[in-house]
Amino acid sequence: MYDISNWLNSYINEDFIRVTVQLWKGFGVTLSLFFLTLILAIPLGLVLAFCTKSSFPLLKFPFRALVYVIRGTPLLLQLMIVIYIPGIAFHSPITKWGMFGGNVARAYFFGALFAFVINYACYFSEIFRGGIENIPKGQYEACDVLGMTRSEAFFKVILLQVIRNILAPMSNEIITLVKDTALARTVAVTEILFCAYEFLKVDAIIWPLFYTGLFYLVFNAVLTWLFGIAEKKLSRYYK
């Protein structure tokens, strides 16, 4: 027992506490980026799904093109475009925009958030489109003959079936999002990996980098558990 507590002490030293506190702060940024992206990209993705499956060509083709471009280029590149292009091409650097009040960290965070939301909305929209198109025509007709409006039919009847159709691909995409937030490091968003790299550069200690894996793992375990519950609930309606 003495040996173990000795061993423990060698780990739970000042460094460990300092690193943990700092990584928690970084993980807070990671989680903010994750949740805000999710909250904004899901409704936007739904709107995009309706635009890309619209029969009106002025709506359909520009948005299909957008989805094609966003899905066809790396998120890393999109992040750089949002952060650097306003300044380079339009002489209006993002950090000097009035809404950020001269706060560079805030400007970068919301710049990165914008890129994430657009990127994920495009991926989500394709999933939604597939989910909506897989609903049998009879469900719409049943709503029609029962005198429901289009929006009543969608929100009361179709939506939950769409959710059930898209749950598996969405859970994949959302878990990918958790890990993709690490890309924001490259545009100086101080998320957890950025903080870990700081220890590497300033103190030359490596283990915080691997320690971040634990944060991601635990959080993804929670998400996986929640998706499991949702899947169980929804599968009740189907045999």
Partner 1 sequence: MALLEVSNLKKSFQDTEVLKGISFSLEKGEVLAIIGSSGSGKTTLLRCLNFLEKADSGSIEVDDHTIFGGDDAEVASVLASTKQIRKNRLYFGLVFQSFHLFPQYTVLQNLTLSAQLKALKENKTLPRQERRTKAEIYRTLDQQAMELLDRVGLTEKISSYPCELSGGQQQRVAIARALMLTPDILCFDEPTSALDPELTKEVMGVIRSLKSSDTTMIVVTHEMDFARNVADKVIFMANGIIEEKGTPEEVFDHPKSPILQSFISNT
Partner 2 sequence: MKKLLAMLLSLLCIFSLAACSAGQTTDGSDGSASANSDYDYIAANGKLVIGITLYEPMNYNDENGVLTGFDTEFAQAVCEKLGLEPEFQVIDWDMKESELSSRNIDCIWNGLTVTEERRENMDFSMSYLTNKQCVVINSSNAGTYTDTASLASAMLSAEGGSAGEDAILADESLSQASYTASDSQASALLALKSGNYDAIVIDYTLATASAGTGDYTELMIVDGIQLANEEYAIGFRLGSDMTEKVNAVIRELIDDGTLASLADKYDMTDLYEEAVGK
Footprint of partner 1 on this chain (CB under 8 A)?
136, 138-139, 141-149, 152, 156-157, 160-161, 164, 234, 236-239
Judged by CB, which is closer to partner 2: 16, or 140?
A: 16
Residue 48 burial (C-beta neighbours within 10 Å; 0-12, 13-18, 19+): buried
The entry of partner 2, partner 1, none near residue 71 (CB within 5 to 8 angstroms by kind) is none
The entry of partner 2, partner 1, none near residue 91 (CB within 5 to 8 angstroms by kind) is partner 2
Structure tokens at 94: 């993002």
Query: Which parts of this chain interact with partner 2 (CB under 8 A)?
Result: 4, 7-8, 11, 80, 83-88, 91-96, 102-105, 107-108, 185-188, 190, 194, 197-198, 200-207, 209-211, 213-214
Check: CB of residue 185 under 8 Å from CB of residue 193: yes
In the complex, least distance from residue 230 CB atom to partner 1, rounded to whole angstroms: 13
Other Cβ atoms less than 10 A from the Cβ of 161: the count is 18
Task: Indicate the angle between helix axes 192-202 and 207-235, nearest 10 degrees.
Answer: 170
Judged by CB, which is closer to partner 2: 128, or 216?
A: 216
**Which DSSP category does 151 fall into?**
H
Judged by CB, which is closer to partner 1: 68, or 155?
A: 155
Q: Looking at this protein, which amino acid is placed at residue 161?
A: Q
The entry of partner 1, partner 2, none near residue 119 (CB within 5 to 8 angstroms by kind) is none
Please enumerate in sequence order all residues whose Cβ is within 8 A of that of 163, keeping only pairs 6 or more positions apart, or say none. 131, 234
Please enumerate in sequence order all residues whose Cβ is within 8 A of that of 112, keeping only pairs 6 or more positions apart, or say none. 33, 79, 82, 83, 184, 187, 189
The entry of partner 1, partner 2, none near residue 160 (CB within 5 to 8 angstroms by kind) is partner 1
Judged by CB, which is closer to partner 2: 173, or 191?
A: 191
